[in-house]
Structure 1
Amino acid sequence: MTTPPSALIIDDEPDIRDLLEITLTRMGIEVTTAADLSQAYAALKHQTFDLCLTDMNLPDGNGIELVQWIQEQAPATPVAVITAYGSMDTAIESLKAGAFDFVSKPVELPRLRELVNSALKLASPHPEQPATEGDPGLILGNSAHIRKLRSQTRKLARSQAPVFISGESGSGKELVARTIHLQGPRSDGPFIAVNCGAIPSELMESEFFGHKKGSFTGAVENKDGLFRSANGGTLFLDEVADLPLAMQVKLLRAIQEKAVRPVGETKEVPVDIRVLSATHKNLAELVQEGLFRQDLFYRINVIELAVPPLRERSDDIPLLANHILNRIAREYECSAARLTAAALERLQGYAFPGNVRELENALERAFTLCDDDTIDAGDLQLGNGKQPPVPGLTPGERQPLAADMTIPEGDIDLEGYLETIERQTIEKALEATRWNKTAAAKKLGITFRALRYRLKKLGME
């Protein structure tokens, strides 16, 4: 027979204590109650609980003291704090102290049940395990920086506190956010990532909060929006510093009220999400310059998590490079390439201003150019100050091709235009060699591997 979960409720008001006890008992939870901190400490020393729910103001102290005590003595027990209505500063203080979540008085029972169910999903913390290439959603690396980062993400995954992830472009901030999501009680829910700088300002409210059909020109059907799409899961706001001030106000209200009002609607819709955010910019400086709202900054920056740049963890490069090369090989159905000792030394001696993203790009480029499944230092083309050649065309072939180009008038899609030229060139080579890929690659002056890569990428297989 399965043992039912247990909870400790601490509140000095008998009516509130009874309401909470009845609600949790009906959820199949064994409840122990306490009227003050001394009774709570006695119960915690006698028994281990799956959840602790405490009022903030108690006769012999406050809930923050209890949160801190449990963090030290029973860190596997999630603690939720009951705060007075509108006491957002107190709620944030409890989250910083290590509270799992908070609920405001008067307690809304649906919100309370959501909180309890989320808390009970939490597993006990797992011991540190070395990263391996096959671990899904794991931050790869065994350096001290990455071991610390993995430990922090596991701890933060047990909380519902908003986390601000700082770090340079390409350092892996979205991967960190996804890892926090996967390791937490919301892992069964959606993970919605949005680049705030990529949404036109006139569409932001509709994109975030949704809209009602007919609410504006072009609204031909109802739309949920990002907040409601992330309901039950995590919303990751990347490059949050790019939000215009007018949108920052609306975002702050949605986060604080845990509700959104779709464009064209008169009523707010409740949402149950955890908000994670990130940017490569210095938010504190933007606040000082008046470009980012201070109240929103404090709301999303309850806990800050710094992602180290790749240059500070060069010992992780061999593991990362091996993982990236194997992924590229699987994607393009080729045999995996290996790095020579000289290539590996070159990678570990390079500063990587673009971080892991630059490492990925360098290896993908080298993968298409190398011979005999071996990447040497020269194939990496790092830090020589020159523009790397486009895989698929040798320098000698590019010049006459560029001279023969007819540039269309007006605005053009450069990426699409260059892709069309590349596709046409490859088709001509294949037709000239009767679709013999080995001969076509030779005619194009590239390796067979590079041709297979281009065919796969262009969807020409």
Structure 2
Amino acid sequence: MAEKTLISWIGETDLRAAISDVPSDAPISSTLANFTFDRVILLCSYPETRSAPYIEWLMRQTSHTIECYQETLVTPVDYESIFQAADKHLSSLKRSNVDICILLSPGTPAMQSIWILLGKAKYSASFYRSSKEQGAEEVNIPFEISAEYTPPAIKLNSKQLTQLSNDGVISSAAFENIITQNPIIQRLKQQAEILAKREVPILIQGETGTGKELFARAIHNASSRVDKPFIAVNCGAFPSELVDSILFGHKKGAFTGASADRQGYFQQANGGTLFLDEFGELEPNVQVRLLRVLQESVITPVGATKEESVDVRIITATHRNLMQAIHDGFFREDLFYRVAVGVLLLPPLREREGDITLLAEALLMDMSKEDAALVGKEISAKAKNIILSQQWPGNIRELRSTLLRASLWSNEDAISANDIKQALFDRPHNNTSLLNRDISQGIDIQNIISDLVRHYIPKALAHSNGNKSKAADLLGLKNYQTLTNWIDKYDVK
């Protein structure tokens, strides 16, 4: 059975109870007298000179384990600072896999509304309240809500439609088509707009389905080459024996079956942009030939005797870690540095806080343009909460596919939680690399720990925009100094 943890703000009535010694008037002491919890976490925005005596008094009144945390708020009614404090502690509790119980009564109405928002939409908490008239009781909040937090400084993009997860990106894609209210994506859009004006090669990295081609097309459409061709090529589909012909073209009679001259992708993109998707899949012999073209801007079609000059801007994209591929000897370092001048790293959907439900709604609206049966269709609050709980390894493409499947058998005005559940695929959990290794052959547990640390610390730092305190909290570490010690110990880059 999971541990029950009560969390609450300390209110003025609670503080007065320690002075007047009338605990029946105080929500916290009254609740602890009527219910049993394994752990009690109290948040206090009052000065420690007031909270410390109260905690000492409360510990004399109860046998519960009490933890108190001082939280600095802009004001007791500032929603953003209240949210940040509450979300930080609830997130830590969620990682500990406990039953979260929230006491609503103490604090300001703003604090209570944030508790309800988080407890209903993000953390599946149970709620308690206590008053002089009703005493302490568990309460049912009789409605469902779904919401993602968005910092108030980030403005919602005015356009509601997107082709972000379509298999084919619209040719007119622009930065306005990249729907987001996430500060990381907003910054990437700004960087991409700057790169669009520069004639430099660009490398876009990110997991499959994160919108790499959408960014590439937006860059092309915002550049001086907008009136020239944009040619998208999947490098993973190149047959090795035909790669020269595919990329550089061929002359009639150059080989069996070459019945006419054919332009290669470089010639087709001349003056414009060549987007090489799945760039990390190029075979080594192709990498060599491509490097020469990028260095000298000339090609030689198969069967030709003269070189041809080409003016092509290269945008590459890959889901692979090319630095690791270089280290492993699978990718040429000189080619990497030739294409990785402007670099954009697209985060996976699960790390785009504030964007998941926004994109789900936009994608559903976009699909309604293709299918009249979907016009007016919405996503229920419970369905949104299920969507928010998923990791989405296939990212935006997987989200769109799931919504499409859910909509096929949705008979109501809104897609329900059951519709989403039926549309999701059960993914096998593969823990072989960590938990199922053959101990009889011996293992290096320090290397396993090192791999985990080097994997998750950079992710936590990226998610917290380099704030070590926030990153430490995301990783369940005591403080930023502990994080720094781990970075030094495991040589985290």
The two structures have a TM-score, normalised by structure 2, of: 0.51
Task: Specify which of 285, 303, 310 is matched with residue 246 of structure 1.
Answer: 285
Contact 2:236 2:279 in 1 (8 A): yes
Cross-structure match for 2:199: 160
Cross-structure match for 2:356: 317
SS in 2 for 1:331: coil
Task: Specify which of 401, 418, 428 is matched with residue 361 of structure 1.
Answer: 401
SS in 1 for 2:305: coil
* Separation (CA, whole Å) in 1 of partners of 2:230 and 2:413: 36
* Separation (CA, whole Å) in 1 of partners of 2:387 and 2:156: 26
- Does 1:205 find its partner at 2:244? yes
* Separation (CA, whole Å) in 2 of partners of 1:134 and 1:189: 26
In structure 2, what residue type is equivalent to 1:133?
Q
Distance 1:169 1:384, change over 3 A: closer
In structure 1, what residue type is equivalent to 2:336?
F
SS in 1 for 2:203: strand
- Provide Cα deviations, 1:277-304, integer angstroms capped at 9, x if missing partner: 0111111111112111111111011121
Counterparts of 1:69-218 in structure 2 under 5 Å?
130=157, 132-134=159-161, 136-137=173-174, 138-218=177-257
* Separation (CA, whole Å) in 2 of partners of 1:164 and 1:346: 34
- Does 1:335 find its partner at 2:374? yes
Cross-structure match for 1:114: none
Cross-structure match for 1:418: none
Counterparts of 1:223-242 in structure 2 under 5 Å?
223-242=262-281
* Separation (CA, whole Å) in 1 of partners of 2:276 and 2:185: 23
Contact 1:314 1:348 in 2 (8 A): no
In structure 2, what residue type is equivalent to 1:385?
D
Distance 1:373 1:270, change over 3 A: farther
- Does 1:349 find its partner at 2:389? yes
Cross-structure match for 2:152: none
* Separation (CA, whole Å) in 1 of partners of 2:230 and 2:284: 25
Runs of 5+ unmatched residues, structure 2 = 1-154, 163-172, 429-493
The two structures have a TM-score, normalised by structure 1, of: 0.54
Q: CA deviation at 1:318?
A: 2.4
Cross-structure match for 1:385: 426
SS in 1 for 2:343: strand
Distance 1:129 1:185, change over 3 A: farther
Contact 1:131 1:142 in 2 (8 A): no
- Does 1:308 find its partner at 2:347? yes
- Does 1:265 find its partner at 2:304? yes
Percent identity among equivalent residues? 45
- Provide Cα deviations, 1:5-57, integer angstroms capped at 9, x if missing partner: xxxxxxxxxxxxxxxxxxxxxxxxxxxxxxxxxxxxxxxxxxxxxxxxxxxxx
* Separation (CA, whole Å) in 1 of partners of 2:189 and 2:288: 33
Distance 1:251 1:369, change over 3 A: same
* Separation (CA, whole Å) in 2 of partners of 1:386 and 1:261: 47
Runs of 5+ unmatched residues, structure 1 = 1-127, 388-461
Q: CA deviation at 1:323?
A: 2.0
Cross-structure match for 1:372: 412
Distance 1:160 1:131, change over 3 A: farther
- Provide Cα deviations, 1:397-424, integer angstroms capped at 9, x if missing partner: xxxxxxxxxxxxxxxxxxxxxxxxxxxx
Greater shift, 311-320 or 376-385, is seen at: 376-385
Show structure 1 runs of 4+ deviating over 6 A. Answer: none
* Separation (CA, whole Å) in 2 of partners of 1:208 and 1:319: 39
In structure 1, what residue type is equivalent to 2:182?
S
Measured on the aligned residues, the alpha-carbon RMSD in Å equals 1.9
* Separation (CA, whole Å) in 1 of partners of 2:264 and 2:239: 14
